[in-house]
């Protein structure tokens, strides 16, 4: 009965009782490291650091795994494992049902259009013409934004960084840096400041939410034009091919042949005036290297960690995600990218050690989501069921045609599909005098019969919580926000994917509730933590409450995770 009652909780009210209940772990002492360094590696599936460790040197991933607290069994428990969802979950310690970021995009019924997660018409970019160059952007979610402004105002829960600012009366210096705007904005929160890379300008930019004008050091960094160092050069292998697990698997027909970049090493960046030049930088280790250089400059000029008040720097490295989309997790490109990211991390940690001291720094590394294997790669191993799904067929099958006839709808019944939601044509439904819940239920029932669809759940069912008590249904419910979610949540079968990125067919995409997308590493290091490998189940929602508990700061407003005892009790 108690379990049944838990499923009746409204989805808009924090549904933590379904899976996660905050613990009451108390730290031995309140400690104040001078810097909290939170690293997010976009799309770093939980097994990849150990899988590619044969290429790692000292000081990077090995420092985290061998000298820190390494949690090897961390999984998200929400269904839509996309970039903004995971980043904000790490920042807030809660699920999208509470923090509101249900996807990279959602359909805004009030304005009648698709919106990008952090777009903000009231806070413009400080650099003119630095908005996304839509002709060269490979990320379709960015193309949904109709304005150039960015801010964290759509995040509905406080972040750890917000609570740090409150606790220390605004004296903590708080920054977020990433190639992706959503990677920087999400973790900086409302109280911090964020910088991200503009492919259009080749600079790190910010918006009027954070500054009236750029700090001088940012102007100087951008004026130096660091991207020019890559002009005419290539992404080449870091080692001899024989050292790599996939050294003899460079050319695979299922990999993405991005214009001018190719499927095999070396991958040319092209000329600086090529319209795809800065995009090629972001889909290679160069994107992380630029992020590192900017972060080091920020640490120096903003004097992070130089007094007794803890500062906070979030660095989100995006190249792993882009490389995974183009080539897949099991590719020579992904393997070399992780080897180069390992060196990038080692340089960052060494720089922090020189400037602040690793003993004065608490480091946490995790990821916003994992990533699947490419269907073509699985086919090579005899796993034949992996395939792509044609979403254009959703509104054109006999079953949906029969529903249209049943309800007297002659036009499009399905207005749009935006991962992971189906949006019904509500105007037509109202015009016909039909009951929205009845139509939702009927369409969901038919969609669930599609070959390749694991589940289709109506928003009405989520509002009333009339669902079976399964891990999958809990994950979907964790993702539901009544004002932002679509009419029907569609889950595809494991290893069934949509890989059309606005006309560019990519090798791989994430966003499912399956374990390859929910599995991420969680690693804490520095601050004299004792080395430990922990295999018990934890969640990335535990990160923000752990940071808060460690510093004696109140947890974020919607946090449902548990402070991790191996960190806070050391």
**Looking at the predicted structure, is the pLDDT value of residue 22 above 50?**
no
The pLDDT score that the predictor gives to residue 1 is 35
Residue 7: count other Cβ atoms within 10 Å of its Cβ.
18
Task: Please state which CATH number belongs to domain 387-494.
Answer: 3.30.1360.150
Q: How far apart are the first and last CA of the chain?
A: 39
* Higher local confidence (pLDDT), 190 or 7: 190
**Looking at the predicted structure, is the pLDDT value of residue 21 above 50?**
no
**Looking at the predicted structure, is the pLDDT value of residue 301 above 90?**
yes
Hunting for tokens 């949904």 — which residue is that? 144
Q: Between the CA atoms of 159, 161, 163 and 166, what dihedral angle is there, to the nearest 10 degrees?
A: -140
**Looking at the predicted structure, is the pLDDT value of residue 195 above 50?**
yes
Instruction: Name which of 21-30, 65-74, 386-395, 559-568 the model is least confident about.
Output: 21-30
Beta bridge partners of 387: 496
- Tokens representing 414? 């399905």
Mean pLDDT of 300-314: 98
**Looking at the predicted structure, is the pLDDT value of residue 266 above 70?**
yes
Nearest to 37 by CA among 283, 413, 397, 361: 361
Mean pLDDT of 155-179: 98
336-371 pLDDT tens trace: 999 999 999 999 999 999 999 999 999 999 999 999
- Tokens representing 77? 């428990």
> What phi, psi does 416 have (nearest 5°)?
-165, 155
**Looking at the predicted structure, is the pLDDT value of residue 19 above 70?**
no
Q: How many residues does the chain have?
A: 570
Q: How confident is the model at residue 138 (pLDDT cuts 50, 70, 90)?
A: low
Q: Which residues contact 50 (CB under 8 A, 6 or more apart)?
A: 65
Whole-number Cα distances in Å, 375 to 127, 252, 261, 378: 41, 12, 22, 5
Q: How confident is the model at residue 546 (pLDDT cuts 50, 70, 90)?
A: very high
The pLDDT score that the predictor gives to residue 11 is 38
Q: How confident is the model at residue 111 (pLDDT cuts 50, 70, 90)?
A: confident
Q: How confident is the model at residue 28 (pLDDT cuts 50, 70, 90)?
A: very low
* Higher local confidence (pLDDT), 29 or 47: 47
Instruction: Name which of 4-13, 40-49, 207-216, 282-291 the model is least confident about.
Output: 4-13
The pLDDT score that the predictor gives to residue 466 is 77
The answer to whether 34 and 312 are in contact (CB under 8 A) is: no
Q: How confident is the model at residue 131 (pLDDT cuts 50, 70, 90)?
A: low
399-449 pLDDT tens trace: 778 888 888 887 788 888 888 999 999 988 999 899 999 999 999 999 999
pTM equals: 0.93
Give me the helix-helix angle, 181-188 and 83-92, nearest 10°: 20
Q: How confident is the model at residue 502 (pLDDT cuts 50, 70, 90)?
A: low
The pLDDT score that the predictor gives to residue 7 is 35
Percent of the chain surpassing pLDDT 70:
91
517-528 pLDDT tens trace: 999 999 999 999
DSSP strands (E only) in 263-405? 267-268, 311-317, 361-366, 387-388
The reply to whether 387-494 shares the fold of 35-378+512-530 is no
Q: How confident is the model at residue 123 (pLDDT cuts 50, 70, 90)?
A: very high
Q: Locate the domains of the chain by residue range.
A: 35-378+512-530, 387-494
The pLDDT score that the predictor gives to residue 415 is 84
What's the CATH fold of domain 35-378+512-530? Alkaline Phosphatase, subunit A (3.40.720)
179-193 pLDDT tens trace: 999 999 999 999 999
Helix, strand, coil % in the chain, rounded to nearest 5: 35, 15, 50
d(CA 310, CA 208): 25
**Looking at the predicted structure, is the pLDDT value of residue 135 above 60?**
no
């Amino acid at each position: 009965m108690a379990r049944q009652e838990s499923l009746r909780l409204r989805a808009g009210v924090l549904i933590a009782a379904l899976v996660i209940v905050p613990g009451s772990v108390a730290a031995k002492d309140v400690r104040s490291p001078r810097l909290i360094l939170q690293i997010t590696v976009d799309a770093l599936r939980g097994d990849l650091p150990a899988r590619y460790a044969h290429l790692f040197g000292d000081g990077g991933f090995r420092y985290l795994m061998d000298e820190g607290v390494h949690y090897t069994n961390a999984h998200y428990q929400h269904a839509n494992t996309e970039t903004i969802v995971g980043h904000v979950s790490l920042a807030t310690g809660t699920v999208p049902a509470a923090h509101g970021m249900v996807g990279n995009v959602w359909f805004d019924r009030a304005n009648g259009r698709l919106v990008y997660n952090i777009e903000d018409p009231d806070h413009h970019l400080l650099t003119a013409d630095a908005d996304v160059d839509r002709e060269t952007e490979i990320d379709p979610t960015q193309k949904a934004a109709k304005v150039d402004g960015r801010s964290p105002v759509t995040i509905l829960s406080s972040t750890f960084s917000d609570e740090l600012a409150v606790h220390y009366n605004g004296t903590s210096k708080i920054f977020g840096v990433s190639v992706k705007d959503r990677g920087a904005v999400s973790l900086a929160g409302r109280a911090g400041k964020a910088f991200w890379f503009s492919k259009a300008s080749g600079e790190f930019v910010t918006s009027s939410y954070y500054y009236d004008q750029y700090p001088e050091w940012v102007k100087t960094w951008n004026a130096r034009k660091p991207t020019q160092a890559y002009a005419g050069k290539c992404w080449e292998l870091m080692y001899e091919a024989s050292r790599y697990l996939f050294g003899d698997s460079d050319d695979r027909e299922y990999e993405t042949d991005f214009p001018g970049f190719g499927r095999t090493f070396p991958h040319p960046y092209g000329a600086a005036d090529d319209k795809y030049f800065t995009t090629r930088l972001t889909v290679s280790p160069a994107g992380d290297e630029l992020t590192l250089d900017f972060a080091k400059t920020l640490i120096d000029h903003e004097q992070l960690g130089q007094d007794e008040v803890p500062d906070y720097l979030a660095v989100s490295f995006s190249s792993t995600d882009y490389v995974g989309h183009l080539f897949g997790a099991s590719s020579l490109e992904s393997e070399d990218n992780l080897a180069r990211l390992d060196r990038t991390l080692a340089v960052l940690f060494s720089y922090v050690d020189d400037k602040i001291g690793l003993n004065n720094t608490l480091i946490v590394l995790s990821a916003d989501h994992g990533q699947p294997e490419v269907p073509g790669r699985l086919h090579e191993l005899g796993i034949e069921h992996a395939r792509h799904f044609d979403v254009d067929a959703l509104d054109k099958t006999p079953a949906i045609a029969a529903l249209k006839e049943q309800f007297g709808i002659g036009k499009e019944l399905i207005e749009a599909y935006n991962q992971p939601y189906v949006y019904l044509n509500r105007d037509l439904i109202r015009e016909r005098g039909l009951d929205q819940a009845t139509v939702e239920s009927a369409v969901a029932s038919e969609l669930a019969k599609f070959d390749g669809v694991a589940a289709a759940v109506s928003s009405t069912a989520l509002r009333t919580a009339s669902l079976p008590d399964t891990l999958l249904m809990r994950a979907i419910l964790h993702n539901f926000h009544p004002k932002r979610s679509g009419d029907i949540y569609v889950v595809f079968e494991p290893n069934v994917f949509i890989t059309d990125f606005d006309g560019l067919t990519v090798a791989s995409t994430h966003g499912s509730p399956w374990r390859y997308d929910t599995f991420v590493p969680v690693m804490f290091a520095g601050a004299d933590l004792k080395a430990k490998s922990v295999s018990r189940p934890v969640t990335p929602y535990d990160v923000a409450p752990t940071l808060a508990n460690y510093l004696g700061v109140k947890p974020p407003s919607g946090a449902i995770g548990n402070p991790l005892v191996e960190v806070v009790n050391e």
